[in-house]
Structure 1
Amino acid sequence: MKMDKRVAILLCTYNGSKYLRKQLDSITNQTHQSWVIFASDDGSTDDTLDIIKEFQRRYGEDRVVLLHGPGKGFAWNFISALEASGNDFDYYAFSDQDDEWMENKLSHALKLLDNNQHKPVVYCGRTLLINEEGDEIGLSPLFNKTPSFRNALVQSIAGGNTMVLNKQARDIVIETPKWQEIVSHDWWVYILITGCGGEIFYDASPTIKYRQHQENIIGSNLSMLARIQRIKKLMAGHFKCWNDKNIELLKTFTGRLTPENARILASFNSNRNSNILLRVKMIFDAKLYRQTFFGNIALIVAIIFNKI
């Protein structure tokens, strides 16, 4: 891998001053140094902007660029920054404001991606969980099944904070219709890129420290309470609502999907609201799956109770 591969780091912020310096330090200490940080702030009222400007003075405004987010939530802040960063980069890395990157985060991701420039590719992976003090408290779930559109329709497998996109993937994602709601940018990237025939590299070796704290918008969801809450959301119809929004977004890209994935989407969309026999048939027809045994049990329950 050539060390001159340029990376746009898309750091989205909102009142993140508590941990922001640690995250910026971990980015600027990367072994791969050909990067530009695009800090897209969504209206912070704490010291976030002061910290970003401090790093601008230290590294230069050409390496730390301050953007103003669209004010439409975290998902659109990331998609907006992805577009605003421009097309002069080889790779685009999402970054949360409160994590810490291991020093080989970029070099490791680029090594995996650099030999696959003929199609859209996205690097993502497992995370090392840390608490507010930075102490290690565990690992995110390990997923062993191959990433695919069949999986992406019913499950998001990796946080956006781990994702690195090549230019081809970036150019597809920025076509997302700006007037529509995105459930989560990481799930949407997984769905869209696999749907369009791209490839996902899921790394079992963590390269970021994912901080767990009370202000997290989306945490690791490993606790029993978190799992119970997910089941409650499923039965309350949240999963079905999220699928509605994802399918609506995919309509814009119908012509970009591979023929096989277009067939899978058509089956999923037409049968998920049908009678129970057709819903069950859909599992075998579209070959939908989640990454774990209990995840697949939850999927079957959702299908039986018309919550998909």
Structure 2
Amino acid sequence: MHPPITIALATYNGSPFLREQLASIAAQSDDGWNLLVSDDGSTDGTLDMIAEFGASQPAHKLRVIDGPRKGATRNFLHLIGQADPDGWFAFCDQDDVWRPEKLALAARYLEGRDGPAVYAARTTICDESLNVLTPAPHYARGLHFRNALIQACMPGNTIVANSAALRLMQKAAPYAAAANVVSHDWWTYQLMSAAGAQITRDAAQVLFYRQHPGNLMGRNDTSRAKAARLSMLFDGTFAGWIGQNQDALAPVAELMTAENRVLFGRFDAAVRSNGAVTAAAFLQMGLYRQTRAGTAALMAAALAGRLRQPREI
């Protein structure tokens, strides 16, 4: 029997979709979960829905806390700090719908593992009405710090972490909040890979990922989405994200493996250098994205000097 899984649900005016998500949590084949909700000041009936759900689930602990009201990423970081450090932890978006086996698949991977371990998987991309559009891409390359430094490819809404991983996240989350990281899932991937955690990204599709105008990031597999992300490599947006991530990780470098501390230092020096020096350093470090085209675009941006950090970290 695994420890209780804290389902960490960040909410803000989620009433259009929340009821379906809550129903999918109740339908999990693995019922060893509790629900921790951090609400960012909803005014639309979200809290009433949550209270109604809690009353219908007497076997499961429900706790509602006030969120920091600084956006979804900060809300999720806040949830990390409030979770039971002896339990497991699962991020939960208010507008998804989980497949019944989502938690069971994660538990199957995590049970019996020593040290920090994290399960992630694929999603099924849907439109606003949950009509299926396409499976999310499945990436075959390894999930290592050399990838995590330059790519977010662990979907946060699929992540389940064991207690050892959660305790690392709790040590590091205040620094991520102070650095205003843009993505809690990218930060989680960076932290876990840097610390040498066991990580998997299952090929199984574990939830329906609803696309609508309120998505924080949205899908990344269409031509339009790829073009938008490519532009971010060259307009300074991606460089800003790198800087925030560096600021979040630097204070917790002691949590990294010795090898990854060295890699982090080399990466830090590389992104404070100019063009050709940065690109050459990236090649020497063996940094990679999950596709050849993605790696090539990253190297081109580095060569053009578009990833440079203009200040000491």
The superposition leaves residues 213-255 of structure 1 with CA deviations (integer Å, 9 ceiling, x where unpaired) of: 1111111122212211112222110111111111111111122
1:61 to 1:46, Cα distance in 2 relative to 1, 3 A: farther
Supply the distance in 2 between the matched residues of 1:291 and 1:303 (Cα, whole angstroms): 17
**1:120 aligned to 2:120?**
no
Offset, 1:280: 2.4
Supply the distance in 2 between the matched residues of 1:205 and 1:187 (Cα, whole angstroms): 20
Residue 215 of structure 2: aligned partner: 216
Residue 125 of structure 2: aligned partner: 129
Q: Secondary structure at the match of 1:126?
A: strand
**1:297 aligned to 2:296?**
yes
Residue 146 of structure 2: aligned partner: 150
Aligned AA (1:113): L
Moved more, 15-24 or 211-220: 211-220
Runs of 4+ in 1 over 4 A off after TM superposition: none
Residue 275 of structure 2: aligned partner: 276
Residue 228 of structure 2: aligned partner: 229
Between the two proteins, what is the percent identity of the paired residues?
A: 35
Offset, 1:157: 0.6
Offset, 1:60: 3.7
Give the number of aligned pairs: 304
Contact residue 179 and residue 245 of structure 2 kept, 8 A: no
Offset, 1:285: 2.2
The superposition leaves residues 25-81 of structure 1 with CA deviations (integer Å, 9 ceiling, x where unpaired) of: 000110111111111111111111110111122124962211111112111211211
The superposition leaves residues 131-160 of structure 1 with CA deviations (integer Å, 9 ceiling, x where unpaired) of: 122111101111100100000000011221
Q: Alpha carbon RMSD of aligned pairs, Å?
A: 1.4
Q: Secondary structure at the match of 1:267?
A: helix
Q: Secondary structure at the match of 2:293?
A: helix
How does the TM-score come out when normalised to structure 1? 0.95
How does the TM-score come out when normalised to structure 2? 0.93
Q: Secondary structure at the match of 1:146?
A: coil
Structure 1 residue runs of 5 or longer lacking an equivalent are none
> Within 5 A, what are the aligned runs for 1:44-123?
44-60=42-58, 63-89=61-87, 91-116=88-113, 118-123=114-119
Residue 7 of structure 2: aligned partner: 9
- Pairing partner for 2:29 from 6, 9, 31: 31
Structure 2 residue runs of 5 or longer lacking an equivalent are 308-313
The superposition leaves residues 90-149 of structure 1 with CA deviations (integer Å, 9 ceiling, x where unpaired) of: x11110001011100001111011131x21111112111111221111011111001000
Offset, 1:88: 3.9
> Within 5 A, what are the aligned runs for 1:154-173?
154-173=150-169
Q: Secondary structure at the match of 2:189?
A: helix
Aligned AA (2:15): S
